[in-house]
Structure 1
Amino acid sequence: MNTTIPPVPIMPAPEPAGMIFLTGTIIIMTGFLLWWAFGGERKRNGWVMPLIFAGTALSSIMIEPIFDNTLLYWYPAENPLSYYRAYDRTIPLFVPLGYAWFFGGSAYLTWRVIEGGATKGRIWALFAGTVVVDWLAVSICEWLGLSAFYGNQPYHLFGSPLWFSFCDATDGFVLGAALTLFMPYLKGMRRLWLLILPSFTYGSTLGSTTAPVSLALNSGWPTWAVWAGGTATMAMCLIVVHVVAQMSDARARAGAKA
């Protein structure tokens, strides 16, 4: 039987670019942690941010190779900067670090913004900014030859496919909303559950929102159907963010009346 799944491109690992990107990732994550340590966040919320960072980094071990396959995303098979290989994907070191600062950071920021009484307009503005940051980060990887999407990707006009940045941004918002609901019950040692929570929120969000485009990409469907799948994926992301925005707005109104 002929397969409809596109083959993975075989690409070399650009070592100087990889080291530069890894260094940049470390600098960004260090900046977040310095802000946590000396900006008052540690006193206000304890070790919540580092735990979320660690949890999102751990989630990459399970999640990244799986969705690299379903969403048609390649990394160089031979890479001196990799830390493990699974499901036919060689994962570089900058991936768990990127998970930590982007998904962990955006989730933490979303949680703090919701707790601060953000209106739905502010939530949507934060989502738009998160989409831009993700698109730029993933596009840089593609431009440097560190990794990229392949196959008949929709919305892949310049840089990274736009639909993917919608999904990545939504992932952080779902985790941020979950923190809003769960944190009142996570005291003391119970906060160690934050090491596991990101795997549930990220895996379920990415699995559900990317289902339309993933099916289209791996089924040999015509271009119009693939673009319809990408559009449906982005629409599902917007539905999720709409719910988060409504939740935050309702909390803000309730707080104003109290």
Structure 2
Amino acid sequence: MTTPTTAQTIITAVLTVVVAAFVVAALVDWRRSGSPAFLLVLVGGYVCSFNEATVDVLGHCFFPLDGVLGYTAFGRGVPVWVVLAYVVFFGGLAYVMALAFRRGASRRAMWCGIATFGVLNVLLELPMLSAKLYVYYGDQPFAIGGFPVSWLVINSLGALFGAVVVVRLSWFFTGARQLLLVFVPFATYMTSWVLAMPYFAITNTDMPSGVRMAAAVLSMVLGLIAIDALIRIGTGQWRLLPPQTFETSTEDPKHALAHT
């Protein structure tokens, strides 16, 4: 399998323009708000790209090694355009979702945002698969045009998780601790793989197609439940901690800690 040069050049150029637009927007936001959070999350999208080789092994995805590679690991090459895609999806779009939460987006609006994220994911993947820039190999359940739809849930969950962490832990990411934002996309995307493990585990076996499909369905259902839970947390419908009661706020601090 060899890399189609024209397709690689086109997608690299398109994603470079999109990344540049996000960087400009982040710099403008920094100047207006005084916070580099947007830019740091974009850098985090780049850091997140170092997950790709691992998830390619788990999910049976392969990129030809003769392309313009950003790095190689575990015997897998990760093209520069894939690194740029991470900056867009797990950096830029994740921060856009965080902004939506911060501005009071409803649960329904966020589900529409997740659907939009999925559509953009498909619009990126299908032409690239058709052009033979990469391939999902093996017996992949629920594949459309060579694209396993399980990845829509995996990718959406990872980006959304990052957005929720950014907005709900904004009190933590202040001062020098803002620099930790560069690790949020990497950590949240990798954490989201826990729910994808039924799919990943069966994909790396010789189990029959029926078992593979059941594992993929399980991972997708778990992922969708987690997405809804994260949206509820992001919108404030669910709290990470119970609201402080009057009794707790006025009692002796040592006594209060005894109840935690």
Q: TM-score range by the shorter chain?
A: 0.7 to 0.9
- Does 2:46 correspond to 1:57? yes
- Does 2:66 correspond to 1:78? yes
Hey, what does 1:127 align to over in structure 2? 114
TM-fit CA distance, 1:45: 5.9
Deviations 1:147-170 (A, max 9, x none): 121111111122522110111111
Which of 79, 95, 118 aligns to 1:92? It is 79
Asked whether the 8 Å contact 2:135–2:146 carries over to 1, the reply is: no
Query: Considering only CA atoms, is the larger Rg found in Structure 1 or Structure 2?
Result: 2
Q: 3-state SS of the aligned residue for 2:217?
A: helix
Deviations 1:175-216 (A, max 9, x none): 0001112212212221110112222111111x2122111111
Deviations 1:105-150 (A, max 9, x none): 2210111111111211111111111111112212222112111211
- Does 2:61 correspond to 1:69? no
- Does 2:6 correspond to 1:16? yes
TM-fit CA distance, 1:15: 1.4
Hey, what does 1:36 align to over in structure 2? 26
- Does 2:225 correspond to 1:239? yes
In structure 2, what is the Cα distance between the partners aligned to 1:215 and 1:28? Answer: 34
Check 1:76–1:219 CA distance in 2 against 1; reply closer, same or farther (3 A cut): same
Asked whether the 8 Å contact 1:119–1:248 carries over to 2, the reply is: no
Asked whether the 8 Å contact 1:135–1:159 carries over to 2, the reply is: no
Asked whether the 8 Å contact 2:143–2:149 carries over to 1, the reply is: yes
- CA RMSD in angstroms, aligned pairs only: 1.9
TM-score by length of 2: 0.86
Asked whether the 8 Å contact 1:56–1:103 carries over to 2, the reply is: yes
Q: 3-state SS of the aligned residue for 2:171?
A: helix
Which of 178, 202, 222 aligns to 2:208? It is 222
Deviations 1:58-81 (A, max 9, x none): 1222x11111011000000222x1
Hey, what does 1:148 align to over in structure 2? 135
- Does 2:190 correspond to 1:200? no
Higher RCO, Cα 8 Å, sep 6+: 1
Q: 3-state SS of the aligned residue for 1:83?
A: strand
Asked whether the 8 Å contact 1:106–1:173 carries over to 2, the reply is: no
In structure 2, what is the Cα distance between the partners aligned to 1:133 and 1:58? Answer: 21
Give the aligned residue type for 1:200.
A
TM-fit CA distance, 1:101: 0.9
Mind listing any 5+ residue stretches in structure 2 that lack a counterpart? 239-260
TM-fit CA distance, 1:250: 3.5
In structure 1, what is the Cα distance between the partners aligned to 2:235 and 2:53? Answer: 36
Deviations 1:1-49 (A, max 9, x none): xxxxxxxxxx1011121111100110111122233334x5641362111
In structure 2, what is the Cα distance between the partners aligned to 1:60 and 1:117? Answer: 30
> How many aligned residue pairs are there?
239
Identity across the alignment (%): 22
Check 1:34–1:172 CA distance in 2 against 1; reply closer, same or farther (3 A cut): same
Q: 3-state SS of the aligned residue for 1:185?
A: coil
Mind listing any 5+ residue stretches in structure 1 that lack a counterpart? 1-10, 253-258
Asked whether the 8 Å contact 1:117–1:251 carries over to 2, the reply is: no
Give the aligned residue type for 2:200.
S
Give the aligned residue type for 2:197.
A
In structure 2, what is the Cα distance between the partners aligned to 1:45 and 1:184? Answer: 15
In structure 1, what is the Cα distance between the partners aligned to 2:141 and 2:217? Answer: 8
Question: Which is worse superposed, 166-175 or 42-51?
Answer: 42-51
